Amino acid sequence: MSLQKSLKSVSGEQDTTSICSSVTTQPDRHGFFGGAQYSPEPKRTVSPSTILKREQKWLRMLNNWEAFMSKNYKKVRERCRKGIPASVRPKAWLYLCGGQLLLEKHPNEYEELLQAPGDPKCMEDIRKDLHRQFPYHEMFIREEGHGQQELFSVLKAYSVLNPKVGYFQAQAPVAAFLLMHMPSVQAFWCLVSISDKYLSGYYNPGLEVLQRDGDILHALLRRTAPAVHRHLVKHRVEPVLYATEWFLCALTRTLPWDSLLRVWDCFLCEGVKVLFKASLVVLAGALGPAKVRKRANGLCETLEVLRHPPDSVLGEEYLMYHMQRLNLTEEDFEFEHQRQTARRRAMANRSGS
């Protein structure tokens, strides 16, 4: 399977096999009327008093943001890993990713970008993709409704701001996810920060950065789950075949909603390494059991397992618990980053000579 084919799974229609056919008249607690993300059961929560204490701590941090980030970042990281209270999550995300700083620096630019005509091809591509983004969510369920209009505006503004990238289809679910939590101008500046800083190079032509990071993931897997790594090597399952959507969409089309919120709390605090950690946990959880690997005795069978990991592996508590217990250091990530970058540079030099 080629890189082009795996990209089609990112940009194409949502997988109908993962969408339940029934649509309810009442949305769940996240605003979904149906589909794979629908969660009718009330989430088990901590006590109201604990939630209140966490909210107060976060409000104090947000009111003294620069001091906390410069002098007490570990405390911010610790609280992100515990989960940001829903009531303060939108503001916390805006501050964590640097969107607030961009908004303060360019207070009128979003509206100015919307007034620009935009590239006709980008505008057409954006319009084609609007109905594919979380179609069962109350914000996007109506064709050409308010949510889809805001999504178009955010994606258009980015394409005008960064014409080198223009519009990349994997940005659409990221932008839609942000719009579910904050006004469009804030979602736009968060998208700018995520696209240009967190996922820097992912949306450039050629996707060389994405392929390099796939190699980094593969190398880290050899350390954290050697049996799974051997299985993937044996059946020639390259990272680009299973991890393209995970990384390009920052897991917004992969994880259950509660898990996604918790992972993003950490992602916006700690950076792209969180996507690596979540991916490593999913790989080990899905292919870790020997009986699963025995059944997945080929490339297609292995990819099928990775496209539909067990619900237990994708669960919030399982995912967060195992992500924090991966035996990987900052130095491990840096070492593999440098090694894979050097390897690709040498390959490019050989092919160009």
5-19, 34-48, 334-348: least confidently modelled range? 5-19
Task: Say which residue, 63 or 50, is predicted with more confidence.
Answer: 63
Q: What is the pLDDT of residues 53-97, one digit of tens each?
A: 999 999 999 999 999 999 999 999 999 999 999 999 999 999 999
How far apart are alpha carbons 144 and 146 in whole angstroms? Answer: 7
Mean pLDDT of the region 330-347: 93
| Phi, psi for residue 34 in degrees, rounded to 5 | 175, -165
* Coil, helix or strand at residue 74: helix
Tokens of 89: 């999550």
How far apart are alpha carbons 274 and 262 in whole angstroms? Answer: 11
The predicted pLDDT at position 26 comes to: 86
Cβ–Cβ under 8 Å, residues 39 and 256: yes
Task: Say which residue, 20 or 334, is predicted with more confidence.
Answer: 334
Q: Is the model's pLDDT at 39 over the cut of 90?
A: no
Q: Residue 333 contacts by C-beta under 8 Å, 6 or more apart in sequence?
A: 216, 220, 273, 276
CA 259 → CA 53, 148, 173, 252, 352, distances in Å? 22, 25, 16, 10, 44
The predicted pLDDT at position 232 comes to: 98
How far apart are alpha carbons 78 and 85 in whole angstroms? Answer: 13
Which DSSP letter does residue 130 get? G
Q: What is the pLDDT of residues 107-156, one digit of tens each?
A: 999 999 999 999 999 999 999 999 999 999 999 999 889 999 999 999 99
How far apart are alpha carbons 22 and 9 in whole angstroms? Answer: 24
Count the alpha carbons within 13 Å of 256 in the hemisphere toward its beta carbon.
20
How far apart are alpha carbons 49 and 56 in whole angstroms? Answer: 11
Q: Is the model's pLDDT at 8 over the cut of 70?
A: no
Mean pLDDT of the region 34-50: 80
Q: Is the model's pLDDT at 36 over the cut of 90?
A: no
Q: Is the model's pLDDT at 303 over the cut of 80?
A: yes
The predicted pLDDT at position 19 comes to: 40
How far apart are alpha carbons 101 and 254 in whole angstroms? Answer: 30
Task: Return the amino acid letter for 300.
Answer: C
Mean pLDDT of the region 276-283: 98
The predicted pLDDT at position 44 comes to: 66
Count the alpha carbons within 13 Å of 303 in the hemisphere toward its beta carbon.
17
Q: Is the model's pLDDT at 12 over the cut of 80?
A: no
The predicted pLDDT at position 41 comes to: 77
The predicted pLDDT at position 45 comes to: 67
Mean pLDDT of the region 290-301: 97
The predicted pLDDT at position 262 comes to: 97
Q: Is the model's pLDDT at 21 over the cut of 70?
A: no
The predicted pLDDT at position 269 comes to: 98
From the list 237, 170, 269, the residue with the least C-alpha distance to 1 is: 237
* Coil, helix or strand at residue 85: coil
The predicted pLDDT at position 47 comes to: 83
The predicted pLDDT at position 335 comes to: 96
CA 199 → CA 7, 42, 210, 247, 252, distances in Å? 16, 33, 9, 8, 14
Tokens of 98: 């640097």
CA 187 → CA 99, 192, 193, 201, distances in Å? 8, 9, 10, 20
Q: Is the model's pLDDT at 16 over the cut of 50?
A: no
Task: Return the amino acid letter for 275.
Answer: L
CA 57 → CA 64, 107, 258, 267, 318, distances in Å? 11, 28, 22, 20, 26
The predicted pLDDT at position 206 comes to: 84
How far apart are alpha carbons 259 and 317 in whole angstroms? Answer: 8
Mean pLDDT of the region 334-348: 92
- Beta-strand runs (E) in the chain: none
Which band of pLDDT confidence, cut at 50, 70 and 90, is reported for residue 40? Answer: confident
Which band of pLDDT confidence, cut at 50, 70 and 90, is reported for residue 353? Answer: low
